[in-house]
Chain A
Amino acid sequence: MALASDVPKESFRLSMLIYDTRYRSITIQIFVLVLFGLFLAWLLNNTAQNLATRGKEFNFGFLWQRAGYDIGQQLIPYTNDSNHFRALLVGLINTLVVAIIGCVLATVIGVFVGVMRLSKNWLVGRLMTVYVEMFRNVPLLLWILLSYVILSETTPQPRDFRLTDEMAAAGEAPAASMILFDTVAVTNRGTNVPSPLFDRSLGTLDLGGMSISLTLLAYIAVIAGSVWVNRRILAAARAQQEATGDRPVTWWKSLAVLFVPVIALSAALGLHLEIPELRGFNFQGGILVAHSFTALVIALALYTAAFIAEIVRAGILAISRGQSEAAFALGLRPGRTMNLIILPQALRVIIPPLISQYLNLTKNTSLGIAVSYLDLRGTLGGITLNQTGRELECMLLMMLIYLTISLIISAVMNLYNKSVQIKAR
């Protein structure tokens, strides 16, 4: 009987480290590790030397110094007396706002265009193809710059909205007028939109430097509560349907639960819109949305939507024809075929590339620098960096933050992806 111990023992030779496949991978890995370590040491050594010759040190203390610059769009209170860390936060929030609005808009437009491109209507299909090819093959920077230039150079000046006495007497209209029932004014300085105001505001809660609006909290609580109740109603309806086969009518309950509490809260707090008004040389009241923001959102949404449209189209085409034919054979209408048969299956194909489009959009918000939109890149990596001269710290911190955002987005979307994948048993 031949046992493993009978195998003649090979003596270990040094050359086996290279020629024997059992040891070679270890040799290579150690070699790579040593090289990598040497490379890192070389980088760190260089950095230390360079910092020393420039008389700089590596610390993040500068974040708590006075920033001294203004930021146009600030969603948390900020003045030029705040510190650089506060500026960083404002920039981060600006980045996230553009990213979130851009993702939502891009998804809506992208799904619409993707479905329309597959429509049997020849004309609409061609129009959508032109849109997709046009936006996919031209740099995003062009769309950002073009929309910014168009917004700021073709829109009227605030004084064009003025109705002077002579014009009123002559029965003439002013050169420009507000849109959307006289609530929104687009001027060359920005877009003036109405702002919500409360007569009986709940005030703010001060949490050691962070002030949280109680009104906002109240809205979030009410909406979350309504959504939860609505889900209970739907679950109850589903249970009854599975037990008896009859589905109770729920739409009016859902509508009531979703909207009545919010409307009641608004009435209780005295919500009204403050509509921008032309006073003096400029519009007063309302919120001034800078063109840099609008241009960035429009360009990012339209550009990314073209890619999402292709993803959606590919996802729908990937579902075999047999599926839709089977649905038609069951007597489902085209709309319900789409909702019940095609889309749930197509989602599985669509989600992974969609994640990477969301990531791309988020990273592309850093192009806001082209139109002086002060996002993370503009505050931390722009003005703060130039004022403090801390290139190393600012750049590393900024990369770290972008990396974290990317990882969070992909983690969240991967969770969603898991929930729509086929559960293989």
Chain B
Amino acid sequence: MTKASYVRDQMLPPQAPPVSEAGVVKWLRENLFSGWFNTILTLVGVVVIYWLVASALPWWLNSVWNAESLGQCREIVAATAGEGATGACWAMIRERWHQFIFGFYPPDLWWRPIMAFGLLFVALAPVLFSGQRRNLTAILGAAFAFLLVTLYLAGAPMAAWVLVLALILGLAGLAQAMPGKLLWFTAIYPALCFWLLWGGSIWSPVAAMLGFVVMGVAYVALVGRMGPTASAIAGVVLAALWWLILDVPVANAIQSAIPFGLQPVASDQFGGFLLAITIGVTAITFSLPIGILLALGRQSDMLIVKTLCVGFIEFIRGVPLITLLFTASLLLQYFLPPGTNFDIILRVIILVTLFAAAYLAEVIRGGLAALPRGQYEAADALGLDYWRAQRLIILPQALKISIPAIVSTFIGLFKDTTLVAFVGLMDPLKGVTQIVRADIDWKGIYWEPYIFVGVIFFVICFGMSRYSMYLERKLKTDHR
């Protein structure tokens, strides 16, 4: 045995990983060049991106913001970037943006839709972020800041400032003291929004809202004696009587006693995103409850109710929205009593609401069907009646399951508001763009208006889909 045995008494320092297994190179190898097929895909992707950038980038870089007409735009591009260069002509947007946003709404009244838009978020906040004081305050602050800036830009009159300050301060105080009570503002917001947008006497929306008060009072007064179903029916009947008989005279009487109102704006002056958002938001708000009722009706044990709901849903889902819009513009005059003629925007809103409600009903039915049978049986075992079981046990879970689909129905609805162009309303996409393109100054412009409108639609719809993801995460209770 020799003594010269070699024993290592200290560890070698760890070697750095091979170049191909670390950092950027590893990422590139794994994600872009992991095999011959992937390499080809990557190369094709790079070529596509290069082609897109090479054809679009000069166009973006040569954008012209100040010009009188498309011809002038092209001259400026030719002068700065050389003959044959292409350039975007955003001067058109600069000159016509107000038509894309407001249509032909009178410029000195722009503060009204702006205010309705800002307050929309205040009204939505308690629904979207129920009871979260921090989020509520943040939204109130943001809406306030938005209103300050835009109202200043729109040159709002003194009365508007007073109204906004009073509303925002009052609501901010309410949000601090009792965030739950902010829902009351959401309840009166539709009337306020209607009054701001269309103008006229303030007493007609107030009188219309009083119908709901009549319904509520009747229900509360009768529910102790007659039970929920009968008193609900009584409340609806009384409210209907109010709307049919007393509503208009009462509104007129108060108006003649205390005249207070805004300058009326006719429906044909609405246009652009003002129109799209008005129709979209109203239809979204009203289609959800109708959709829930239709879904419950379709799941119901009562044969006649079920048949009617199925018939309605399948009919609406089987025909294109355009035919329904044409029904609104051409056929309602046949179906309503002779001499009735009501606002085209209102007619369109009703039809769009019914359309969305049928789709929502199917989506919610999916959620109802996905609930395990045990949930229904547990609700029965607790002795809950039908409406309590639905409200406390079934619907909260069914709606949670169907949130993604509900939101994508809403997104579809908002995109479909562009179809009102076919019944003569001025939507931002076809109506306004056509007007702009018909102008001799901007004849032949096509990328810019579509990109402008498309980007706004994208931002709104993408925002909605992100919010639905947030909601899904927030409401997720299982641990999968």
Contact = CB atoms under 8 A, between A and B. Distances in A.
23 contacts: A18-B229, A25-B302, A32-B305, A43-B335, A46-B335, A46-B336, A46-B338, A121-B32, A123-B45, A127-B49, A137-B458, A138-B457, A141-B419, A142-B418, A145-B430, A369-B422, A370-B430, A377-B320, A381-B326, A395-B327, A395-B331, A402-B319, A403-B318
Nearest to A150: B446
The 10 residue pairs across chains A and B that have the minimum distance between CB atoms: A122-B31, A137-B461, A363-B320, A403-B318, A406-B318, A139-B415, A366-B320, A123-B45, A29-B304, A149-B446
B83 interface: no
Contacts of B38: 119-121
A290 B433 CA distance: 23
B45 A395 contact: no
Contacts of B302: 25, 28-29, 32
A407 B305 CA distance: 22
Nearest to A47: B334
Interface of B: 30-32, 34, 38, 41-42, 44-46, 48-49, 227, 229-230, 301-305, 308, 315, 317-323, 326-327, 330-331, 333-338, 411, 415-416, 418-419, 421-422, 429-430, 433, 444, 446, 450, 453-454, 457-458, 461-462, 465
B92 to A, nearest CB: 14
Contacts of A359: 317
B299 to A, nearest CB: 14
B381 to A, nearest CB: 16
Nearest to A18: B230
A377 B323 CA distance: 8
Contacts of A120: 30-31, 34, 38
A176 to B, nearest CB: 16
A140 B430 CA distance: 12
Given A124-B42, A150-B446, A403-B319, A142 B461 contact: no
A33 B337 CA distance: 22
B37 to A, nearest CB: 9
A49 interface: yes
Contact of B415 (A29, A138, A377): A138
Given A28-B305, A407-B318, A53 B323 contact: no
Contact of B334 (A50, A134, A141): A50
B409 to A, nearest CB: 12
Dominant secondary structure of chain A at its interface with chain B? helix
A129 interface: no
A224 interface: no
Nearest to B321: A363
A153 interface: yes
Interface residues of A, number: 57
A133 interface: yes
A138 B429 CA distance: 11
Contacts of A370: 421-422, 430
Interface string A38-56: 0000010011011101000
B444 A153 contact: yes
B445 to A, nearest CB: 10
Contacts of A413: none
A146 interface: yes
B323 A391 contact: no
B330 A145 contact: no
A381 B321 CA distance: 13
A203 to B, nearest CB: 39
B230 to A, nearest CB: 6
Interface string A394-417: 010011001100110000000000
Contacts of B458: 134, 137-138
A359 B421 CA distance: 23
Nearest to A36: B308
A32 B304 contact: yes
B337 A46 contact: yes
A392 interface: yes
Given A46-B337, A137-B462, A395 B320 contact: no
Contacts of A32: 302, 304-305, 308
A370 B45 CA distance: 34
A307 B333 CA distance: 37
| Most chain B CB neighbours (cut-off 10 Å) among A46, A123, A127 | A123
B312 to A, nearest CB: 10
A222 interface: no
Contacts of A406: 317-319
Given A120-B30, A123-B45, A395-B331, 16 more contacts: A25-B301, A32-B304, A46-B334, A47-B334, A50-B335, A121-B41, A136-B411, A137-B465, A138-B457, A138-B461, A142-B457, A145-B433, A366-B322, A366-B323, A370-B421, A391-B331
Given A18-B229, A141-B430, A50 B333 contact: yes
Contact of A141 (B49, B337, B429, B465): B429
Contacts of A398: 323
Contacts of A51: 334
Nearest to A149: B446
Contact of A402 (B304, B323, B411): B323
A142 B334 contact: no
A223 B42 CA distance: 40
Given A32-B305, A139-B457, A141-B430, A53 B338 contact: yes
Contact of B305 (A29, A53, A119, A367): A29
| Most chain B CB neighbours (cut-off 10 Å) among A51, A137, A381 | A137
Nearest to B416: A139
A364 interface: yes
A141 B304 CA distance: 39
Contacts of A29: 302-305
Contacts of B32: 121-123
A123 B336 contact: no
A145 B450 contact: yes
A391 B433 CA distance: 29
Contacts of B335: 43, 46-47, 50
Contacts of B418: 139, 141-142
A392 to B, nearest CB: 6
Given A137-B457, A142-B429, A127 B45 contact: yes
